[in-house]
Copies of this chain bind each other. A is one copy, B any other.
Amino acid sequence: MPPHVATPDALALPDLAAIVAARARIAPHVHRTPVLTSRSLDAAAGARLYFKCENFQKVGAFKARGASNAVFSLTGEEAARGVVTHSSGNHGAALAYAAARRGIRAHVVMPDNAPKTKQANVRGFGADVRFCAPTPQARAAACGEVQRETGATLVHPFDDARVIAGQGTAVLELLEEVPDLDIVIAPVGGGGLLSGTAIAAKGTRGSLRVLGAEPANADDAKRSLASGRVEPVSPLSTIADGLRTPLAPRTLAALRAHVDAIGLASEEGIVAAMRLTWEKMKIVIEPSSAVPLAAILERTLDVAGARVGVILSGGNVDLDRLPWQA
C-alpha cells in the first residue's frame, strides 16, 4: 500500500508528497479553478487578497477534490464493491460524482429531513440514497449496514487521509499561480480542507502563515486548539451550517502541527462578507466561503499589508432564499 493511502491508524495524515500525488491522480476529474482578485475587497481588507475559486469546482465545492482522490486511490477490487458516506451536503454530491467518473457504485446516507434538492443532486450522479434519522448514531448505523451488505469502502467527509490529501491540492495550484503569498486562509468545519491546506502550504514553504476561520457560533476548532482535545460544537446555529462540525483527532493533530491561528466571524459579518463578494466580485459563494473574508474584515485575523490566499470553498446556495433578504 503506498504511504499516502489511509492506514487503520486514526491519526494518519498525508504528507506533501501524498498531496502532490493526489493532484496528479485527480487532475483528469477536477477543474483547475481560477484565482480572482478585487481592488475593492483589497481596499476593505487593507491587504492583497487572492481568491481560489472552488465555488467553480465540479459539484460546486472543493469536496470534489478529496472525494476524487479517495475514489481513484482504491484498488480495482475495493472499487468494485463501491463506496459509502454520510452527508447531506457537498461531500455526498462529490462522492457520487467521483464514483460516477470511475464507474462504480456510491451509497450516500442522508438524514430523512435533507432538502429534496440535495437528494436530487446526489441521485443525479446515479448514487443510491439511503435515509436515516438525523442523529450521529443512526448515521453510523446506516453506513455500517451498507458496508456489511456490499463491502463498500467508507469515505468519511474529512476524517480520512486520502480525502485530506485531495483537499490539499487546491492550495498547491494557488501557490503555483501566486508563489509569493505571505498567508493562506481556509474555513474550518471538520478540518479536512484546513488540514490539507496547512500540510501542503507548510510543506511547500515553512514560513508561510496558515490561518483558519470559523463562525463565532461554531468556534469549536479554536477551542480545540486551545485545549488540545476535540471540543464539541456549541448548540448555537450559524448561517455557515457546513462548518458546524467538530474536528476529528486526525484533523486536530494536523491543525496543532501546522495552523498558526484561527479567527472568528460573527453571523452579521459572514452575511455582509458574502454579499460584498457577490456584489464586487460578481461570483456566487456560499456562506462558509465568506467566513475567512468576514474574519479579515472583523479584524479577528491580522493580515495587514500581506499577500493573502483565501480559499473560497463552494458556491451552492438556495437562490430563492438569500441570507441578506428578510
Query: At the interface, yes or no: A279 with Cβ under 8 Å from chain B?
Result: yes
Q: Which of A19-27, A157-165, A229-237, A318-326 has 4 or more CB atoms under 8 Å from chain B? A: A318-326
Which chain B residue has the least Cβ–Cβ distance from A316?
B282
Q: List the number of copies, as a whole number.
A: 2
A140: min CB distance to chain B, Å? 33
Query: At the interface, yes or no: A56 with Cβ under 8 Å from chain B?
Result: yes
Complex Cα spacing A55 to B279, Å: 11
- Binary CB contact string for chain A from 254 to 293 against chain B (1 if under 8 A, 0 otherwise): 0000000000000000000001001101111100000000
- B324, A56: Cβ atoms closer than 8 Å: no
- A325, B315: Cβ atoms closer than 8 Å: no
- Taking residues whose C-beta sits less than 8 angstroms from the other chain, chain A's interface range is 20 to 34
Q: Which of B285, B320, B324 contacts A319 (CB 8 A)?
A: B324
Query: At the interface, yes or no: A34 with Cβ under 8 Å from chain B?
Result: yes
A144: min CB distance to chain B, Å? 35
Chain B residues in 8 Å Cβ range of A285 = 282
Q: Which of B275, B279, B282, B320 contacts A283 (CB 8 A)?
A: B282
A239: min CB distance to chain B, Å? 16
Query: At the interface, yes or no: A17 with Cβ under 8 Å from chain B?
Result: no
Complex Cα spacing A34 to B319, Å: 24
Chain B residues in 8 Å Cβ range of A283 = 282-284
Q: Which of B34, B281, B319, B324 contacts A278 (CB 8 A)?
A: B319
Complex Cα spacing A292 to B32, Å: 27
Interface centre among A36, A275, A282 (most CB of B within 10 A): A282
Q: Which of B284, B322, B325 contacts A282 (CB 8 A)?
A: B284
Query: At the interface, yes or no: A14 with Cβ under 8 Å from chain B?
Result: no
Task: Give A contacts to B, CB under 8 Å.
Answer: 34, 36, 53, 55-56, 60, 275, 278-279, 281-285, 315, 319-320, 322, 324-325
The 8 closest A-B pairs by CB, nearest first: A282-B315, A282-B284, A55-B282, A278-B284, A34-B34, A283-B283, A56-B282, A278-B319
- Contact sample, A vs B, 6 pairs, CB 8 Å cutoff: A55-B282, A56-B282, A284-B284, A319-B324, A320-B325, A322-B322
